[in-house]
A and B are shown apart, each in its own frame.
Chain A
């Protein structure tokens, strides 16, 4: 299947440090998205990067995409305790004109105050 795999599965850092999470996927995509999930809650969209883009920024977030390696990374700079959450990448798959999204297994980030 086209499932993304995040790496690492878990990450623990000190407040103020940068956090980097990686995502690999298997087939061609139109776009890749990153989502955040606080414990016991739904997912919240963070950023979308299209297949013809290589880098995108949003506040303290920086996303890169390398379609030749089928991989993406999410960098959170100057992390805060409130960034503690799970982060998922999602790749799109168009089936019969309908957009479906395949989610990775996630990275659990813990930011220590």
Chain B
């Protein structure tokens, strides 16, 4: 089965600093990959999804970007973080319409 690795687990960054969160997938090839953000006590907001290397779709306009340099690697980035970028970031993987597998997330706090 698929295993999703995310790091770091926790990150505290100052406003205006850059960001790079990494997600790697084991146990499958050519997956669909997803980045979600979850505000405290809320549901998941889809930020980006990717169907293949270099193919990124953005769901909402924002201060973040995503890249997929390898088949099983998905990176979430920002050049300058805003206070509103705080949240719990989750990476997920799936094949077709099969259930999604999630990593354990990165809790990002912006000071």
Using a CB–CB distance below 8 Å, which chain A residues touch chain B? 3, 30-31, 33, 35, 40-45, 48, 88, 90, 92, 94-95, 97-106, 108
Contact = CB atoms under 8 A, between A and B. Distances in A.
Size range of the interface on B? 20 to 34
Given A40-B107, A42-B90, A98-B49, A103 B44 contact: yes
Contacts of A35: 100
Contacts of A99: 32, 94, 96-97
B11 to A, nearest CB: 14
Contact of B103 (A42, A97, A104): A42
A44 B103 CA distance: 9
Given A106-B43, A108-B41, A33 B105 contact: no
Interface in B48-65: 49, 51, 57, 59
